[in-house]
Amino acid sequence: MHGHSIFSDGADDPGKFPAYCENNGVEVFALCDHDTTEGTDSAKEASKGSGVKFIPGIEISCINGIHMLGLGIDHRNKALVAELDRVRIMHAKRAAKIVRVLEKNDFKIDHSVLVKDKGVITVFEVFRAIIYSPDPFYDRNSQKSFSEFSKKWIYKDSPYYEYLKIERMTLKQAIDLIHKANGVAVWAHPAHTLRKRMDQMDDLGNELKKLGLDGIEVFSSKHNKEQTIMVLELTDRLDLVPSAGSDFHGYGAQEIGGWKLHGLVFN
């Protein structure tokens, strides 16, 4: 219930997802690209005649690093389309700024990353477009290297943050937008997002419930056993729906159906 394609920061065309799912015993999948639904029609068409049920989705990047999944959305909803168009332009402008900052610091970038007809240009795509890096620890295939890179050059601790930051949706705006599009609002990988501030999870969960949250992504490739139990207990206390997703991107450790129950058995 959580995968990414080339229309955000994934590696594969969404039309390939049904075959991936069938090969891995997955019966239902949702395409949840970051801040775009451009791959929905391709995934939907490819699912026809397969043994896999497709659910239209999205992952909205909100303030304070919180991500909100919208599952079962009407991707043609006018309010959703208008907001995502605004976000697409915002991402494109930021990507161009990031390239300028890096080139002033002796990076060499493949400028074709800035030409994307559909979807959003993500920070990860700019990272992968680096041809030469003065940073000896740069590794375009390493998630750890990307994490360090983004902290150093783009995100909050970066000296360029004020120039590169973009205005994210509030939690209420994201949940309301998902509901307007007839979708279900699910808090994505909360323990991963709050890994350095786990003491905030209960309070944030209660706040989101009051804002209309419908579910929480309990089972995720980004949660370990202890985190999975903690998030499941929170979901139960708040009487919300648990969700499962691998956060598949087509590379690295996240595979279709790759989330694990960690040896736990639930009734």
pLDDT tens-place string over residues 221-238: 889 889 999 999 999 999
For residue 98, being part of any structural domain is answered with yes
User: Which token pair is 68?
Assistant: 């909100």
157 in a structural domain = yes
Q: Mark the ranges of the chain whose per-residue pLDDT is less than 70.
A: 251-267
The neighbour count for residue 256, using CB atoms within 10 Å, is 20
Domain-embedded: residue 46: no
C-alpha span between 124 and 189 (Å, rounded): 18
Comparing CA positions, the residue from 266, 246, 244 lying closest to residue 254 is 246
Please report the pLDDT score of residue 266 as a whole number: 52
The C-alpha atoms of residue 45 and residue 14 are separated, in whole angstroms, by 10
Is 198 part of a structural domain of the chain? no
Render pLDDT for 175-213 as a digit per residue (tens, 0 to 9): 999 999 999 999 999 999 999 899 999 999 999 999 999
Question: Rounded CA gap, 59 and 36, in Å?
Answer: 8
Q: Specify the number of domains making up the chain.
A: 1
Is 210 a member of any domain? no
Predicted TM-score (pTM) of the model is 0.91
Would residue 35 count as lying in a domain?
A: no
Residue 97 lies in a domain: yes
DSSP bridge pairs for 29? 54
Q: Which two tokens stand for residue 223?
A: 């949660």
pLDDT at position 137, please?
87
Whether 240 contacts 213, CB under 8 Å: yes
**253 phi/psi in degrees, rounded to 5:** -80, -15
- Side-chain-facing half-sphere of 136: CA atoms under 13 Å: 0
In the prediction, which pLDDT does 262 show? 55
DSSP 65: G
What residue numbers bound the domain in which 113 lies?
A: 83-164
Does the residue 141 lie in any domain? yes
H-helix or E-strand spanning residue 29: strand 28-31
Calculate the alpha carbon distances from 129 to 21, 140, 157 in Å. 29, 8, 22
Tell me the C-alpha distance between 215 and 235, whole Å.
7
